[in-house]
Amino acid sequence: MKALSVALLLALLASVHKTERSFENQKEKNVSKQEALNESQLLTMQDTFSSQGEDLARRKKNEERGHQLYKMSNKILKHSKSKKDKEEAYQLLTKAADMGHLKAMEKLAAALLFGYHGPQNITAAVTLYETLAEKGSHRGQTALGFMFSYGIGMEYNQAKALVYYTFGSLGGNLISQMILGYRYWVGINVPRNCEAALTNYRKVAFFIADKLEKNEEMPVEKVRLMEKSENLSSNNDFLDWDVHQFYKFLAERGDTQIQKAFYYFLKAAKAGNTHGMAFLGKMFLEGSVAVTQSNASAFKYFTMAAEKGNAVGLWGLGLLYYQGKGVPVNYTEAFKYFHIAAEKGLADAQFQLGVMYHSGSGVRKDYKLAFKYFYLASQNGQPIAVYYLAQMYAAGTGVFRSCPNAVELYRNVCELGSWSEKFLTAYFAYQDGNIDSSLIQYALLAEMGYEVAQSNSAYILESEQVKILSNDQMYPLALLLWNRAAAQGNAFARVKTGDYHFYGYGTKRDYVTAAIHYSLAVDHHIAQAMFNLAYMYEHGLGIPKDIHLAKRWYDLAAQTSPDASIPVFLARMKLEVKRLFSEIQLFKFTSSWKMSKLDTMLQPHWDLFALVVIVILLVLLIRNR
Ligand SMILES: *[C@@H]1O[C@H](CO)[C@@H](O)[C@H](O)[C@H]1NC(C)=O
Ligand SMILES: *[C@@H]1O[C@H](CO)[C@@H](O)[C@H](O)[C@H]1NC(C)=O
Ligand SMILES: *[C@@H]1O[C@H](CO)[C@@H](O)[C@H](O)[C@H]1NC(C)=O
Ligand SMILES: *[C@@H]1O[C@H](CO)[C@@H](O)[C@H](O)[C@H]1NC(C)=O
Ligand SMILES: *[C@@H]1O[C@H](CO)[C@@H](O)[C@H](O)[C@H]1NC(C)=O
Ligand SMILES: *[C@@H]1O[C@H](CO)[C@@H](O)[C@H](O)[C@H]1NC(C)=O
């Protein structure tokens, strides 16, 4: 650990030194330029200068051309959905990247790594990212950190990963900052340090909260792969449809959807629907491609809705008075409307009350009340309220300062970042059979601390369909990820971690550790964990043999899940038969050697034998009924 921090420090020093040196270089250049100008009679000097100038001009022209190509490809990618256009855009991007355009290189590298527009090519991505990192691109540094961390296209090396993440984070990369926040929070390759986690998460959360306030971010549904495939028939189709619609909505954000919504609300409002009126008010207030912003129309529709007691309408009026849009600023009026809407349970209004108490606008500054309203709003799912709560916990205003609480809340805000759109692209890649592409996307999110992504990555890894990692890498990585998901409270992941230790997947077989994980999972009422624990008690694996406890856990497993009742029935029968046998075996000492011979003969087929006995018993039972 010490060696690592020394290495980090050295690396940091080196980077500082480098920037200093490049600064000096520039100064030298400026001076030599001056000299060259002064001593223009010296032909040699003149020569070098003019050739430098030509070089500069050519480079500049190249850069401009690269920039144009990049812009063109971006435009196509944004507006066109046909495959042919996309290919063309991709070619333009490649050309721009070849010309050394930094953003084009970053975009191309991401496309190659994640497999966005064409086939994945990790080797090519690594080459590009290495060039980028050398040029000081924080995206390049972050990507290299990510690849070192998983051993994708690189050797598995956590120390190097940490160094690159640190560079990326210093360069202002939000993903690196989030990764470092998570690492400090749970103590991955660094000592646990709440304050360091707080610092990193706060930077990211600040950015996200700002975007949320401007309505630029949109939360994304996170599909859990494991549950889906276990839930084979139950309304899967509906879920697929739902996500698909949502994806389309995202893809077409700001296009036809808003137009449709506008006419829908207009129709509803005309029919006297208060929700329709309130949302029309909102649309006029925000303005979009479909509706031009209008304070007067917003006021009109909000008033109509508010008169009928609609909470959104009341909130809207409050907002107009608060911001002085179309009406003079009047905090008294704003407070009145927010208060009525908040009483009706509207999270946005509760949030606004919190803001008023927090800043002391129109009311006496009161952090306790501000805290109360932010808390209420956050409970009702207002994400910016969560951010304010985190700020209050971090600073200790209105509440006792608590670093862990602040970090947990900041994390919630950070997880709303636009990168969570990868949950959708990863899911669709998985559905289309692009397993590697799906894994890489989930793996990045897992690195950033998303529990669902950790479970999904582990799930994909253990399916053994991944080609970008060698077989001996997969199980240790899957175990690592299950373990992280388990630590975040996923009980299924906890059972998985137990299984890996039980069977020795990706680690040494270790019954003691397996038993510990199962015991932790039974607290969450997982039948599978109870069953496994019972089995371990029955056989004395990792824990002292205890037939009574075994029976109890078998019974609890059966009670917890109806699915478990058949295996439990079989296991209990086996237990009974075995007890019978152990009683019979007592006779072994007295006379029959044949019996002991029978026992050794049966030993390898013990389960089979027990099953046969059970079946016979069952048949007898049914016959005698
Ligand atoms: C060198 O000159 C450029 C403009 O020619 C200027 O932007 C830059 O700040 C100068 N650098 C130093 C170190 O003086
Ligand atoms: C260049 O000439 C200017 C006056 O034209 C003078 O002030 C400056 O010191 C000269 N620089 C060098 C490096 O000789
Ligand atoms: C990946 O890119 C490298 C060079 O960038 C190329 O040599 C290699 O053929 C590519 N691999 C695939 C599978 O396209
Ligand atoms: C299966 O689907 C049902 C609803 O259809 C849901 O309540 C249940 O939690 C799902 N089970 C799992 C393991 O996802
Ligand atoms: C609405 O009010 C705001 C704040 O006074 C103002 O900046 C904006 O221009 C107004 N919008 C229109 C369309 O007048
Ligand atoms: C705000 O509105 C209230 C009631 O409508 C009024 O009494 C008060 O004078 C207004 N305040 C300002 C600053 O206009």
Structural domains of the chain, with CATH = 78-172 (1.25.40.10), 420-471 (no CATH)
Counting ligand 2 atoms within 8 A of each CB, the residue from 31, 34, 49 with the most, and so the one to mutate, is 34
| Closest C-alpha residue for ligand 5 atom 2 | 325
Report the C-alpha gap between 180 and 190 in whole angstroms: 9
pLDDT per residue as tens digits for the range 452-463: 999 999 999 998
Report the C-alpha gap between 208 and 201 in whole angstroms: 11
Report the C-alpha gap between 120 and 269 in whole angstroms: 49
pLDDT per residue as tens digits for the range 202-248: 999 999 998 888 766 555 555 666 554 443 333 333 333 333 344 44
Specify the pLDDT at position 130: 95
Q: Quick one: DSSP state of residue 380?
A: T
| Closest C-alpha residue for ligand 1 atom 2 | 30
pLDDT band at 1 (very low <50, low <70, confident <90, very high): very low
Report the C-alpha gap between 577 and 567 in whole angstroms: 15
Specify the pLDDT at position 51: 60
- Better pLDDT: 445 or 213: 445
Residue 246: strand, helix, or coil: helix
| Closest C-alpha residue for ligand 2 atom 2 | 38
pLDDT per residue as tens digits for the range 495-516: 999 999 999 998 999 999 999 9
18, pLDDT greater than 50:
no
Q: Which of 39-48, 197-206, 604-613 has the lowest mean pLDDT?
A: 39-48
Q: Tell me the percentage of the chain whose pLDDT exceeds 70.
A: 77
Specify the pLDDT at position 52: 62
Q: Quick one: DSSP state of residue 427?
A: H
Q: With a 6 A CB cut-off, is 230 part of the ligand 4 pocket? A: yes
Which of 6, 510, 420 lies closest to 220, judged by CA?
420
The whole-number average pLDDT for the span 395-399 is 91
pLDDT band at 471 (very low <50, low <70, confident <90, very high): confident
Q: Which residues of 603-614 are buried (b: 16+ CB within 10 A; e: fewer)?
A: eeeeeebbeebb
Q: Are 223 and 427 in contact (CB under 8 A)?
A: yes
The whole-number average pLDDT for the span 106-127 is 90
Counting ligand 3 atoms within 8 A of each CB, the residue from 117, 121, 468 with the most, and so the one to mutate, is 121
Most confident of 426-430, 583-587, 590-594: 426-430
pLDDT band at 572 (very low <50, low <70, confident <90, very high): confident
Lining ligand 1 with CB less than 6 A are 26-27, 30
Q: Quick one: DSSP state of residue 271?
A: T
Ligand nearest to the CA of 130: 3
CA of 351 to the centre of ligand 5 (A): 23
Burial (CB count within 10 angstroms: exposed 0-12, middle 13-18, buried 19+), residue 173: buried
Q: On the CB side of 478, how many CA atoms lie within 13 Å of its CA?
A: 27
| Closest C-alpha residue for ligand 3 atom 13 | 121
Specify the pLDDT at position 12: 37
408, pLDDT greater than 70:
yes
Q: Hunting for tokens 């250049």 — which residue is that?
A: 29
In sequence order, what are the residues at sequence separation of 6 or more whose Cβ sits closer than 8 angstroms to the Cβ of residue 350?
A: 342, 373, 374, 376, 377, 380, 382, 385
Counting ligand 2 atoms within 8 A of each CB, the residue from 38, 41, 45, 49 with the most, and so the one to mutate, is 38
pLDDT band at 164 (very low <50, low <70, confident <90, very high): very high
Specify the pLDDT at position 526: 85
511-522 and 527-539 are packed helices; what angle lies between their axes, rounded to 10 degrees? 140
In sequence order, what are the residues at sequence separation of 6 or more whose Cβ sits closer than 8 angstroms to the Cβ of residue 306?
A: 313, 314, 316, 317, 337
Report the C-alpha gap between 451 and 456 in whole angstroms: 9
CA of 333 to the centre of ligand 6 (A): 7
How far from each other are the two terminal CA atoms of the chain, in whole angstroms? 70
| Closest C-alpha residue for ligand 4 atom 12 | 227
CA of 213 to the centre of ligand 6 (A): 27
Specify the pLDDT at position 50: 52
Specify the pLDDT at position 428: 85
Specify the pLDDT at position 581: 63
Specify the pLDDT at position 43: 38
CA of 330 to the centre of ligand 6 (A): 6
Q: Are 102 and 66 in contact (CB under 8 A)?
A: no
pLDDT per residue as tens digits for the range 36-48: 444 433 433 444 4
Q: What is the CA radius of gyration of the chain?
A: 32
CA of 32 to the centre of ligand 1 (A): 12
Q: What is the reported pTM? A: 0.73
Mean pLDDT taken over the chain: 80
Q: With a 6 A CB cut-off, is 379 part of the ligand 2 pocket? A: no
CA of 125 to the centre of ligand 3 (A): 9
Q: Are 212 and 390 in contact (CB under 8 A)?
A: no
CA of 71 to the centre of ligand 2 (A): 43
CA of 246 to the centre of ligand 4 (A): 21
**Which tokens is 193 given?**
């340090």
E runs forming strands in 371-503:
none
CA of 415 to the centre of ligand 4 (A): 24
pLDDT per residue as tens digits for the range 23-82: 344 444 444 444 444 443 343 344 444 566 677 888 788 888 889 899 888 888 777 777
Q: With a 6 A CB cut-off, is 234 part of the ligand 4 pocket? A: yes
Report the C-alpha gap between 449 and 386 in whole angstroms: 18
CA of 327 to the centre of ligand 3 (A): 62
Q: With a 6 A CB cut-off, is 563 part of the ligand 4 pocket? A: no
Atom index in ligand 1 nearest the CA of residue 24 equals 13
- Better pLDDT: 218 or 278: 278
Burial (CB count within 10 angstroms: exposed 0-12, middle 13-18, buried 19+), residue 319: buried
| Closest C-alpha residue for ligand 3 atom 3 | 124
295-307 and 274-286 are packed helices; what angle lies between their axes, rounded to 10 degrees? 160
Ligand nearest to the CA of 128: 3
Give the alpha-carbon dihedral of 22, 24, 30, 31, to 10 degrees: -150
Write phi, then psi, for 405 (nearest 5 degrees): -60, -45
Side chain identity at residue 115, one-letter code: G
Burial (CB count within 10 angstroms: exposed 0-12, middle 13-18, buried 19+), residue 49: middle
| Closest C-alpha residue for ligand 5 atom 6 | 325
| Closest C-alpha residue for ligand 5 atom 3 | 325
Counting ligand 6 atoms within 8 A of each CB, the residue from 303, 322, 332, 363 with the most, and so the one to mutate, is 332
In sequence order, what DSSP letters do the residues of 486-536 get, joined into one string? HHTT-HHHHHHHHHHHHHTSSS---HHHHHHHHHHHHTTT-HHHHHHHHHH
The whole-number average pLDDT for the span 157-173 is 95
Specify the pLDDT at position 588: 45
Counting ligand 4 atoms within 8 A of each CB, the residue from 226, 228, 231 with the most, and so the one to mutate, is 231
